A and B are shown apart, each in its own frame.
Chain A
Amino acid sequence: MSYLITHAPHVRDRASVPLMMQLVLIALLPAAAAGVYFFGLRALGLVATCVITAVITEYLICRIMKKESTIMDGSAAVTGLLLALCVTPSLPYFAAILGTIFAIAIGKLLFGGLGYNIFNPALVGRAFLAAAFPVHMTSWMAPLASRGVEAISSATPLALMKFEHQATSYWDLFFGRVGGCIGETSALLLLLGGLFLVGMKIINWRIPASYLGTVAALGWIFWMVDPAKYPDPLFHLLAGGLMLGAWFMATDLVTSPLTPRGMWIFGIGAGLLVVVIRLFSGLPEGVMYSILIMNAFVPLINRYTRPRILGHKK
């Protein structure tokens, strides 16, 4: 009789990487479903295209590099879905495919695959699309237009606010009856998905709390200074990609800090960048760049925010 010899501990928690990825996919489903509801089958087609392209790309690259396929860990599907949720519903399919290939090949596998990438792969893909297809990436569809409902506007609430000083109803923002990317319409459904992940202990609450808190606080200061010129903090929170970014992109485990203090710094930094870009740059939205820029600082943040070890001097 031979017995199994492995090192301690001999019991393990149930949480595993594939399970975590599955839960992230589940948490994104309501927002994805809302995208399909508001923008029609085209949104469904884009979601399917991105997810399938992501998985196939990862499979093929693993084959070419003669490595064990990593598609079953679920992370490629998550990247594909996240990318689909942050593109415009009118994006051509070939652009979506190119963006997904870029996200997986350059954003993730070039760095060494899951766990080694510095930047959020989905946002790398989106940045590629924004640079390569600037016109496509800024043509918006009105919600429910495909069902014959009269179009309210074909621009996003942030662009309307920035360039035409036109406000959007908070209820429309909350439930998602607004123009925008496929997955960033309904603040409510994104919030529910994010809270689900916090409850399941997949993501840490510190990043969304500090990120959203900073945007609200800074937005409030500017609004107090000149309410005619700057939008109010609630608008900042509900409009654009902030909810999607705060709960699903900034909290990406691989590309966010390890330490509690580091998470606060990361969230606050990203929050400052969002408000600055939204109010003072040529772009209406700054969530993508705020997260990508903070991703670059993560190794540095980890190094300088190490917790005080028990028994070391305070």
Chain B
Amino acid sequence: MARFFAMRTFRQGIHPRYKKEATHDKAIRELHPVKRVIIPLHQHTGATCQPLVKVGDEVFEGQKIGDTSKFISAPVHASISGKVTKIDRLPHPCGTEILSVVIEAGQIVESSKLKVESRDPESIAPEEIRKTVREAGIVGLGGAAFPTHVKLTPPEGKKIDTLLVNGCECEPYITADYRTMLEKPEHVVSGAILAAKAVGAEKIIIGIEDNKPDAVERMKSVARKQKPGLVEVVKLETKYPQGGEKMLVKAALKREVPSKGLPLDVGVVVVNVGTAVAVDEAVRTGAPLIKRVVTVAGSGIKKPGNLNVRIGTTFQDVINECGGLTEDAFKIVMGGPMMGVAQSSLEVPVVKATSCILVLTRREAVEEKVYPCVKCAKCVEHCPMYLVPSRLSAFAENGKYGEFEEWGGQDCIECGGCAYVCPAKIPIVHWVKFAKFKLGKMK
């Protein structure tokens, strides 16, 4: 009972089987530079970048190859040195075709050409932090890929008091953030301090689910070395979707992000642990975001693990490094099993949002028979937004978009908890996404 009262969390949500055992003790290892990378010019929420290079150009590792003047966007960089061999619309792991730059490795790796602009984290001004973060192409590495410099630029008149670091990693299988917290706790904290400085927050809270007690301890030991009261580590109940921004803000601070609003409306900015490390590296070493930690897991993978992968490396190259696929590999997912996107080919690149490559076997990836809704209310009982998902799904299926909006369909965070618990196996969240997409087109 003590546990019941002590643990902070949000109301409702689900408890899927977490299956993190296969990779949680696998230290992050470097993936050897590959011969060829595919770098999409759109790897984030917001505007697509324009290419800054043309076919035949020699590029070096870390060189900016795509950018735009739009505010909500992030530049992209070459992740290996070599020659641009193709600029074309190519398959993107989100399921569409996106203008991408293909780079093939040259003879000499001229990483020395990278313009290193390191700064002193102590004296750097908030404006400089934002500029550095933008130039480094940093986006949220938890999966949503929202440009971080936008988050670090709160609008006039919005007072931010807390920087919340998201260390929940509530999706099953994924252990990339967990390994990052164990292996680079100092970088997480110093990145968080930089982000807090950029938004003018006096307090940093690091939220971690209680199924990662060693990460909690590791982060606490680093937090203790800081100015007293600056960094607080909070243990949260292990529950999906604890890492959803609105759930995390509610759990850690008991604040409710208003409908259609952002955490900054209640004085909070949320960054993922991986993002904090990227911010720290960009400021300290001037290095742009050209690598990210990817968990490669699932029973369809021979040697699961955590890899530091260059952006643009194909799934095939990453999977080869992990012993290849098993005989019965049947479904390839980018991201976790709850919100990830199924892939039709392994010729897609790792992008900034690729937290995980999950391979499920034929036995795990069964298509189940769909029954009519029996109104069991399990989706209502578990929805972390307190919606009535079964009704929303029915409205969407019947094209009743007016009623869909009236019942709060636009508030759905698309976590998939409803479809997970549905005994009729109705793809509830898919219908909701479909209706939101349709409504978006109408406006």
- B407 near A17 (CB under 8 angstroms)? no
Query: Is B43 interfacial (CB 8 A cutoff)?
Result: no
- A115 near B374 (CB under 8 angstroms)? yes
- B411 near A259 (CB under 8 angstroms)? no
With most chain A CB atoms within 10 A of its CB, the pick from B330, B358, B376 is B376
- B246 near A310 (CB under 8 angstroms)? yes
Find residues 249-299 in chain A having any chain B CB closer than 8 Å to their own CB: 253-260, 263
Closest B residue, CB atoms, query A298: B375
Query: Is A13 interfacial (CB 8 A cutoff)?
Result: yes
Which stretch from A3-11, A88-96, A135-143 is at the chain B interface? Answer: A3-11
Query: Is B380 interfacial (CB 8 A cutoff)?
Result: yes
B17: which A residues are within 8 A, CB to CB?
11
Find residues 331-369 in chain B having any chain A CB closer than 8 Å to their own CB: 331-333, 335, 337-345, 358, 360, 364-365, 367-368
How does the 8 Å CB contact mask read for B300-342 relative to A, with 1 for contact and 0 for none?
0000000000000000000000000000011111010111111
Closest A residue, CB atoms, query B420: A9
Chain B contact patch, size range: 35 or more
A257 to B377, CA, bound (A): 8
Q: How far is the CB of A206 from chain B (nearest CB, A)?
A: 10
Within 8 Å by CB of B358, from A4, A5, A10, A201, lies: A10
Known A-B contacts A4-B342, A259-B380, A309-B387; the reply to A12 vs B375 at CB < 8 A is: no
Known A-B contacts A253-B374, A256-B375; the reply to A4 vs B330 at CB < 8 A is: yes
Q: How far is the CB of A249 from chain B (nearest CB, A)?
A: 15
Within 8 Å by CB of A7, from B330, B365, B407, B430, lies: B430
With most chain A CB atoms within 10 A of its CB, the pick from B371, B419, B433 is B371
Known A-B contacts A113-B372, A114-B371, A307-B388; the reply to A259 vs B377 at CB < 8 A is: yes
With most chain A CB atoms within 10 A of its CB, the pick from B338, B372, B419, B420 is B372
Known A-B contacts A3-B343, A254-B374, A306-B388; the reply to A10 vs B424 at CB < 8 A is: no
Closest A residue, CB atoms, query B423: A15
Query: Is B257 interfacial (CB 8 A cutoff)?
Result: yes
Q: How far is the CB of A3 from chain B (nearest CB, A)?
A: 5
Query: Is B436 interfacial (CB 8 A cutoff)?
Result: no
Closest B residue, CB atoms, query A308: B386
- A310 near B339 (CB under 8 angstroms)? no
A258 to B389, CA, bound (A): 10
Closest A residue, CB atoms, query B95: A5
Query: Is A151 interfacial (CB 8 A cutoff)?
Result: no
Q: How far is the CB of A112 from chain B (nearest CB, A)?
A: 8
Within 8 Å by CB of B342, from A5, A113, A307, lies: A5
- B246 near A258 (CB under 8 angstroms)? no
B329: which A residues are within 8 A, CB to CB?
3
A206 to B380, CA, bound (A): 14
Query: Is B425 interfacial (CB 8 A cutoff)?
Result: yes
Within 8 Å by CB of A11, from B337, B387, B425, B433, lies: B337
Within 8 Å by CB of B380, from A7, A8, A112, A307, lies: A307
A198 to B246, CA, bound (A): 30
A4: which B residues are within 8 A, CB to CB?
330-331, 342, 365, 367
Query: Is A204 interfacial (CB 8 A cutoff)?
Result: yes
B365: which A residues are within 8 A, CB to CB?
4, 6, 10
Known A-B contacts A15-B423, A259-B388, A308-B386; the reply to A7 vs B342 at CB < 8 A is: yes
A140 to B387, CA, bound (A): 48
B333: which A residues are within 8 A, CB to CB?
8, 10
How does the 8 Å CB contact mask read for A298-314 relative to B, with 1 for contact and 0 for none?
00001000111111100
- A258 near B331 (CB under 8 angstroms)? no
Within 8 Å by CB of A114, from B335, B360, B372, lies: B372
Known A-B contacts A7-B342, A309-B385; the reply to A114 vs B374 at CB < 8 A is: yes
A232: which B residues are within 8 A, CB to CB?
none
Q: Majority SS of interface residues in chain A?
A: loop
How does the 8 Å CB contact mask read for B230-274 relative to A, with 1 for contact and 0 for none?
000000000000000010001000001111010000000000000
With most chain A CB atoms within 10 A of its CB, the pick from B172, B368, B378 is B378
- A19 near B372 (CB under 8 angstroms)? no
Find residues 1-37 in chain A having any chain B CB closer than 8 Å to their own CB: 2-13, 15-17, 19-20
- A11 near B338 (CB under 8 angstroms)? yes
A312 to B345, CA, bound (A): 42
B261: which A residues are within 8 A, CB to CB?
311
B377: which A residues are within 8 A, CB to CB?
204, 253, 257-259, 263
Query: Is A116 interfacial (CB 8 A cutoff)?
Result: yes
Query: Is A172 interfacial (CB 8 A cutoff)?
Result: no
Query: Is B390 interfacial (CB 8 A cutoff)?
Result: yes
B222: which A residues are within 8 A, CB to CB?
none
Closest A residue, CB atoms, query B364: A11
Query: Is B98 interfacial (CB 8 A cutoff)?
Result: no
Within 8 Å by CB of B386, from A201, A204, A253, A309, lies: A309
B425: which A residues are within 8 A, CB to CB?
12, 16
- B411 near A115 (CB under 8 angstroms)? no
Closest B residue, CB atoms, query A309: B408
- B172 near A11 (CB under 8 angstroms)? yes
Closest B residue, CB atoms, query A10: B337
- A115 near B338 (CB under 8 angstroms)? no
- A12 near B344 (CB under 8 angstroms)? no
A16 to B259, CA, bound (A): 33
Query: Is B286 interfacial (CB 8 A cutoff)?
Result: no
Q: How far is the CB of A34 from chain B (nearest CB, A)?
A: 27
Known A-B contacts A10-B360, A307-B386; the reply to A19 vs B332 at CB < 8 A is: no
- B411 near A16 (CB under 8 angstroms)? no
A306 to B115, CA, bound (A): 57
Query: Is B121 interfacial (CB 8 A cutoff)?
Result: no
- A116 near B337 (CB under 8 angstroms)? no
- B419 near A9 (CB under 8 angstroms)? yes
Within 8 Å by CB of B378, from A15, A73, A307, A312, lies: A15
Within 8 Å by CB of A116, from B342, B372, B422, lies: B372
Query: Is B391 interfacial (CB 8 A cutoff)?
Result: yes
How does the 8 Å CB contact mask read for A103-126 relative to B, with 1 for contact and 0 for none?
000000000111110000000000
B339: which A residues are within 8 A, CB to CB?
8-9
Given A4-B342, A8-B338, 13 new contacts (CB under 8 A):
A3-B329, A3-B331, A3-B342, A3-B345, A5-B344, A7-B430, A8-B333, A17-B371, A113-B372, A115-B372, A254-B374, A263-B377, A310-B256
**Mind listing 30 A-B residue pairs with CB under 8 Å?**
A2-B344, A3-B329, A3-B342, A4-B365, A6-B365, A7-B342, A8-B338, A9-B419, A10-B338, A10-B340, A10-B358, A11-B17, A11-B172, A11-B364, A11-B420, A13-B420, A15-B423, A16-B424, A19-B423, A258-B380, A302-B391, A306-B388, A307-B387, A310-B246, A310-B386, A311-B257, A311-B259, A311-B261, A311-B411, A312-B408
Q: Give the top 3 A-B pairs by smallest Cβ distance, nearest first.
A: A115-B372, A9-B416, A307-B386
